[in-house]
Amino acid sequence: MKPIIQATQLQFSYGAHAVLKDVTLSIDPGEIIGLIGENGAGKTTLLNLMLGLFSAHRGQLHLFGQQPGAPIAKQRIGTMRQKDLVIRGVTVQEVLRLAAAQYPEALNVTTLLKNLDLTAIAKQRLTALSGGQLRRVTFALALVGNPDLLFLDEPTVGMDTNAQQAFWRRIQQLKAAGKTIVITSHYLPEIQAVADRICLLRNGEIAFQGTFQALQEQYQQVEITCQTALPVAAFENLPGVTAVTKTGPRLNISSEAGDTTLQALVPVLADLRQVTIKRESLTDIFVHLTKGVIA
C-alpha cells in the first residue's frame, strides 16, 4: 500500500529562522492523523507545503505520488482552513455550486446540504451567518469536491456542542469510506478521541509520531485512588511512587511508572476498595512535552 503523503527530511526557513527541520512523515490511505504542537511549532507551514502553497527548501514531499500543487493531486484534496470564506451577496448554496464546478466528480450540492444539516440556511447569504454556521459551510466546501484527502485546520472552533458532535460523527463516516484525514487542533481531547496516529511538532521537529496508546506508554504517570485501612507508609516506597496522601480512608497515589506500581500493589489488593486508575490524557502529556506551555 503506497502512502497518500510521503515527506522525507523536509526543511523550510523564513530567512535565518528554521521553521521545519528534517521532518519525515508517512501517511497511509484511510488514516486519521492528529497534527499537534504549540503555535509556531511549524504545523501551518507543513500544511502549506502539503498544499503546494510553499516549496520546501530541502527534502522531498509527495501527495498521491505527485508534487504538491500538481493538478492531479489538487483534484483529490479538500481543505478546511481556519479562516472562513465570506463573499458578499453570495448564498451558501451558490458558493457550494461554484466550488463544485471546479471538480470532475463533485458531490451533489443538494444532497450535501441535507447530509450536513445545512438545508435550512442554504439560501442565506454568507455574511448573515454566525461563526459556527460559517465553520459548517467551510466543512461543506472541503467535502464538495469528493476528496480522498482532507486537511482540517482547527475545524470545530466556533461550533456549539451539537454541531461538534455531528461533525465528529461525519468524520467517522468519512474514515469508514476510506478517506484520509489530517487534523490540526488545540482541542486535544478531540484529537485523542479520533486520531489513529498523532504527530507532535516541537520547534520544527517531530517530537513524537505514533498511536496515543504508544505515547501514553512512554509517559506512565498515573493517579491511583482507593479506600484502605493501610497506612501511608505501606505505599510510599513502592516502585515509581512520587507522592502518597490520605484523607480518612481515602488514599491517593501518584506514580511516574504506572504499570510497575500497579504490579507492586497486587499483594495488597484484598485491602483496597473502590480502586480507580487515571492515566494521563493527551493534554497532560502535551504539557510535559512542551514544558508546560499550551498555545
Q: Per residue in 27-72, pLDDT tens?
A: 999 999 999 998 888 999 999 999 999 999 999 999 999 999 899 8
What is the per-residue pLDDT across 197-238, written as a single tens digit (0 to 9) for each?
999 999 999 999 999 888 877 777 889 999 999 999 999 999
Q: Please say whether the beta carbons of 198 and 209 come within 8 A.
A: yes
- The correct answer on CATH 3.40.50.920 for the domain covering 5-216 is no
**What is the pTM assigned to this prediction?**
0.82
Domains 5-216 and 220-279 agree in fold = no
Tell me the C-alpha distance between 222 and 243, whole Å: 11
Distance CA 138, CA 84 (A): 6
Rounded distance between C-alpha atoms, residue 246 and residue 244, angstroms: 7
What whole-number distance in Å separates Cα of residue 156 and Cα of residue 184?
10
Average pLDDT over the chain, rounded to an integer: 92
| Cβ atoms within 10 Å of 66's Cβ, excluding its own | 14
**CA proximity to 49, closest of 3, 13, 103:** 13
Q: Write down the domain spans for the chain.
A: 5-216, 220-279
220-279 is a CATH 3.40.50.720 domain = no
- Residue 215 confidence (pLDDT): 83
pLDDT of residue 291: 66
Cell of 178: 476510506
Q: What's the pLDDT band for 10 if we cut at 50, 70, 90?
A: very high
Q: Per residue in 94-129, pLDDT tens?
A: 999 999 999 999 999 999 999 999 999 999 999 999
- E strands, 64-160, in order: 77-80, 149-153
Instruction: Return the closest-CA partner of residue 27 out of 215, 146, 197.
Output: 197
Label residue 294 by pLDDT band (50, 70, 90). Answer: very low
Backbone φ and ψ of 138, nearest 5°: -65, -35
The pLDDT value given to residue 292 = 47
What's the pLDDT at 213?
84
Residue 243's identity, in one-letter code, is A
Q: From 166, 174, 218, select the one nearest 196 (Cα to Cα).
A: 174
Interstrand relation of 180-184 and 149-153 (parallel, antiparallel or unpaired): parallel
